[in-house]
Amino acid sequence: MKIVIAGRANEQDIATLRQQHPQLELVEAKQGPDLLAAVADADAVYIHTVTPELLRAAKKLRWVQSQGAGVEWIANVPELVEHPAQLTNTRGAHAQTIAEHAFAMLLYLTRGLEQFVVAKKEHRWAKPGGRLLGLSGMTLGVIGLGRIGSAIAQRGHGFDMKVVAVDANQVPHESYVEQLWGLNDLPELLRHADVVAVAIPSTPETRGLLSAGRLAQMKQGAYLLVMSRGGIVDERAVAAALTEGRLAGAGLDVFENEPLEESSPLWDAPNAVLTPHSSGSSRQTTELAWSIFAENAGRFVRGETLNNVVDKRKGY
């Protein structure tokens, strides 16, 4: 049974997996011709995204383990939807780090840290300018209560925030999520939340969800955190809301076009923290993603049900 690992993996991790499952042939291959040659007789592949070329080359493919949590790239590979191979992802591996990143952005904004960073560079003892805020007592509104949204909600609760959420499904949630609405009730969340965190997957139904009109429904002086995927939020409308002072601040880690184009008004928008789709990056994330793959590799060998199976038609 052959599994191809696209890219490089930790040597010790591979050695451990081989020891646990001697019947597995584990092959590392770089993207490009080497990868296409390696998957020709592979039963499975551990890869970030699949291409139509790879599907055509992999004649025996029965399982694709995505190295990422988001699988919106399926929209560009309709062949995979009809392909018999199962698709699984690493959802859950990135949640804690992304939630921490979201709150790093939020605290940077609410505590006015930028002015102190500038003052340090100038060797200047600066007293706070502007209004500094505490999170306790604020309402956190989470859009999408999956693994990432739930991790954000947990941290909001830890900061003594009131937590409300919307989700497309009636998902299980902790008691500190005081209200869980359906997506149709998004305007209700936007009206009440002091902080809005976007943690919903990108699907045809969610693209453009936070339009300029929806952003206008947010509370005056609210904060926006965009953590899941680009294209869900109207970025020009976010920049306008920041410039006009309707939003107090925004943190964005994902964008409709990546890298973010030089002409984007977000670059010059006040009180905007921008990071290059890096919120999920950490040693812990890499280890958790591998553990999900390793567990599934064992299940694959034993013919058991895989974890984190993706509905290829829904895209999550």
Residue 209 token pair: 């969800």
Q: What is the dihedral of CA 248, 252, 258, 261, to 10 degrees?
A: 20
Question: Among 229, 217, 159, which residue's Cα sits nearest to residue 187?
Answer: 217
Choosing from 91, 173, 229, 235, the catalytic residue is 229
The DSSP 8-state label assigned to residue 95 in this structure reads H
Choosing from 207, 214, 246, 277, the catalytic residue is 277
Residue 258 known to be catalytic: yes
Residue 262 token pair: 């030089």
Residue 33 token pair: 């011709």
Decide: 190 and 141 in contact? Cβ < 8 Å.
yes
Residue 207 known to be catalytic: no
Residue 173 known to be catalytic: no
The DSSP 8-state label assigned to residue 7 in this structure reads S
Long-range Cβ pairs for the range 162-171 (8 Å, 24+): 162/137, 162/138, 163/139, 164/139, 164/140, 164/189, 164/192, 164/193, 165/141, 165/189, 166/141, 166/142, 167/200, 168/144, 168/200, 168/205, 168/206, 171/145, 171/146
Choosing from 258, 261, 287, 304, the catalytic residue is 258
The rounded distance, in Å, linking the Cα atoms of 96 and 259 is 24
Phi, psi of 44 (to 5 degrees): -150, 160
Residue 265 token pair: 């008004």
Within 125-224, where are the H helices? 147-158, 186-192, 212-215
The rounded distance, in Å, linking the Cα atoms of 219 and 189 is 10
List residues bridging with 141 in a β-sheet: 164, 196
Q: Which residues are catalytic?
A: 229, 258, 277
